[in-house]
A = this chain, B = another copy of it.
Amino acid sequence: MEPKDVSTAGDVAHLGALELLTPQPDKSLWFFSDVLGMEVVHRESTSVYLRGYGDYAASTLTLTEAARPGIGRIYWRASSPEAAARRAAALAAAGRGIGWTAGDFCRGRCYHFRDPDGHPMAIYFEEEKYRAPPQLRSTLKNLPMKYVGRGVNVRRLDHLAVLCRDVPANRRFAQELLGFRLHEQVLFDNGSREIGAWLSPSIVHHQLAYVVDVKAASGRLHHISLWVDNREDVLRAADILSENGIFIEAGPARHNNSQGFYLYAYEPGGNRVEIYSGSYLIFAPDWEPVTWNEEERGSGVYWGGALPRSFLEYATPEAEAPAERVPIFDLQ
* A interface residues with partner B (beta carbon < 8 Å): 3-4, 9-10, 13-14, 37, 54, 56, 77-80, 82, 125, 129, 138-143, 146-152, 184, 202-204, 229-233, 235-236, 238-243, 245, 247-250, 252-254, 256-259, 261, 263, 278, 280-281, 283-285, 287, 290, 292, 296, 302-305, 308
Neighbouring B residues of A147 by C-beta, 8 Å: 239-240, 243
> A230 to chain B: which residues have CB within 8 Å?
230-232
The dominant DSSP class at the A interface is loop
Q: Do A4 and B259 contact each other (CB < 8 Å), given the known contacts A151-B149, A285-B13?
A: no
Residues of B within 8 A of A204 (CB): 203, 281
User: When the two chains form their complex, are residues B141 and A256 in contact, meaning their CB atoms are under 8 A apart?
Assistant: yes
Is the CB–CB distance between A256 and B140 below 8 Å? yes
Given contacts A253-B252, A280-B142, A284-B13, contact A238 B303 (CB under 8 A): yes
Chain B residues closer than 8 Å to A142, beta-carbon distance: 184, 256-259, 280, 290
A141 to B280, CA, bound (A): 13
A116 CB, nearest partner CB in chain B, Å: 26
Tell me how far the C-beta of A165 lies from the nearest C-beta in chain B, rounded to whole angstroms: 27
